[in-house]
Amino acid sequence: MALIECRQVTRTYRKGQIEVTPLANLELDVEEGEFLALMGPSGSGKTTLLNLIAGIDRPSSGTLRVDGQELTTMSRRELTAWRAQHIGYIFQLYNLVPTLTAYENVELPLLLRPLSRAERHRRVSFALELVGLADRYDHFPRQLSGGQEQRVAIARAIVANPEIILADEPTGDLDVPSAEAILTLLQRLNEELGKTVILVTHDARCAARARRVLYLDKGVLVPNPATLHPQEVSTWSR
């Protein structure tokens, strides 16, 4: 059994008078310990898929099982508790609280769990050390570079020791050296700690770090554009 199983997953919503379908009858398995990259043009359903796997959003139809749990039958409260235990989410624009230090930002997910202050301190210190920011624990986001802010966001995502790390364009706002450092860190989390990583990216160089690359277009999985005829690639990228 795969860690993540999507069966006929469709997500639709209304935008004014128009019905939008970012995902249509998606079939996908992700194995435990995979490093998967999702590519595709803007609006192809990549972020929608991450949000469904994270339990942030719900499919309009189909089934979605993660680690044996059927997410479509869980209440909002159950999903929140489940997500805090199983999912680490890394956003492109960091989503750090500007009035909190790096330490306090990383500690936030642990405040939802019945842990002692000493245990929270141990976990936060380990996460910051893992991302190379143990010496920046008392810095506020405005005192950090973009790459350092993203590393704080990664520390926050992993501090609760989740099984799955979802990264939505985590290098999209970074310079090349910072982006390379973030990708190397994601590789380490996958290879050394056994985390299942799903990375959304527009950059083929970023996707090359993954063990498997899939392509989404208009809500469905499509062949690798590199294997298509030029006329087909033009159609795919519209």
Three-state SS for the chain is CCCEEEEEEEEEEEECCEEEEEEEEEEEEECCCCEEEEECCCCCCHHHHHHHHCCCCCCCEEEEEECCEEHHHCCHHHHHHHHHHHEEEECCCCCCCCCCCHHHHHHHHHHHCCCCHHHHHHHHHHHHHHCCCHHHCCCCHHHCCHHHHHHHHHHHHHCCCCCEEEEECCCCCCCHHHHHHHHHHHHHHHHCCCCEEEEECCCHHHHCCCCEEEEEECCEEECCHHHCCHHHHHHHCC
pLDDT for residue 225:
64
CATH class of domain segment(s) 31-59+75-236 = alpha beta
The tokens of 176 are what? 């090349």
CA distance 77 to 81: 6
Question: What per-residue confidence (pLDDT) applies to 226?
Answer: 60
Query: Do 203 and 182 touch, CB atoms closer than 8 A?
Result: no
- The domain locations on the chain are 31-59+75-236
Check if the beta carbon of residue 205 is closer than 8 Å to that of residue 39.
Answer: no
Across 93-102, 112-121, 146-155, 227-236, least confident range: 227-236
Q: Which residues of 101-114 are buried (b: 16+ CB within 10 A; e: fewer)?
A: bbbbbbbebbeeee
Name the pLDDT band for 15 (thresholds 50, 70, 90): confident
pLDDT digits (tens, 9 = 90+) for 40-96: 988 889 999 999 999 999 999 999 999 999 999 999 999 998 998 899 999 888 899
Q: CA-CA distances (angstroms) from residue 163 to 40, 74, 75, 194?
A: 25, 19, 21, 8
- Higher-pLDDT residue of 78 and 15 is 78
User: Are 61 and 10 in contact, with CB atoms under 8 Å apart?
Assistant: yes
Token pair 């950090």 in the structure block, residue: 144
Over 90: is that where the pLDDT of 39 sits?
yes
